[in-house]
Amino acid sequence: MVGYLESVSTMHTRGVVIDEKDYIFTLMVVLNESPQNAFALAYDIGNFKKVIGTEDEDSYLLSKTKDAENMLEQQNIIQLRDFLAESYKTQVQAEALNLKDFKFSGQEAVQILNNLLKTRIDDLESSSVRDVVGIIKTLSETGALDTGDSGFSRHFIIVKDKYPAICTTCNHEIDIYPGVGAVCPFCSQHYTWSSEENRFYPSVEHL
């Protein structure tokens, strides 16, 4: 996150003047503090301290709503807010990609990639083509891209390995597939799969 001194310097090069109160107010808004609370803390800290925890707290903060809205419309605050918001987003993305002590589910990983891809596309002029192509390739390999087929391409049919067996009725060798029923092609003996016991049983009517 960009600090106060760097913010002042950057805004100065853009012809924008800010002070420490502007920085505190805007930073708190970027970090999702309510504008009226941020305004009171930055520009009216003395009165803010007096009313916090009293019955006048709510009415006091409500009275700062219009002041906060007017401040957010000031050109210097608008530019500072954009600058701090971009800095904060960049920091969050960098930290998310460098986490070593956390494990993400497949869905969470896809969401991170989607967010990164959107960020790159929104700012194509400064984005690396290699980065964009790499993210798209990763999403494609995980089946996370919407290919226009209503997600059909993400559905797969799993065929289990077959195993040779000897029919208990005619003694012919047959192929069976665990998890599904089987029928001997030589004598039509039926076999039923038991999930509980993980084995086949011949149908009773053919015993």
Torsion of CA 38, 6, 78, 23, to 10 degrees: 20
Same domain for 86 and 36, yes or no, is yes
Structural domain ending residue among the three candidates 156, 178, 194? 156
**What pLDDT is recorded for position 89?**
84
Same domain as 23, residue 48: yes
pTM of the shown model: 0.49
For the stretch 81-140, pLDDT in tens is 999 998 888 887 777 666 555 555 666 666 766 777 677 666 656 555 566 666 666 666
pLDDT of residue 182: 81
Q: Are residues 53 and 93 in the same domain?
A: yes
66, 91: one domain: yes
Total domains in the chain come to 3
At residue 74, the pLDDT reads 95
72 pLDDT above the threshold of 60? yes
96 in the same domain as 38: yes
Please state the φ and ψ torsions of residue 179, each to the nearest 5 degrees. 100, -15
Q: What share of the chain is helix, strand, coil (3-state, %, to 5)?
A: 55, 10, 35
Look up the domain containing 186 and give its range: 163-206
Look at 175 and 74; give whichever has higher pLDDT: 74
What six digits make up the tokens of 104?
Answer: 């993400």
Q: Is residue 44 located within the same domain as residue 110?
A: no
Query: Last residue of some domain: 83, 101, 119?
Result: 101
**104 compared with 32, residue with greater pLDDT:** 32
Verify that 93 and 108 share a domain, yes or no: no
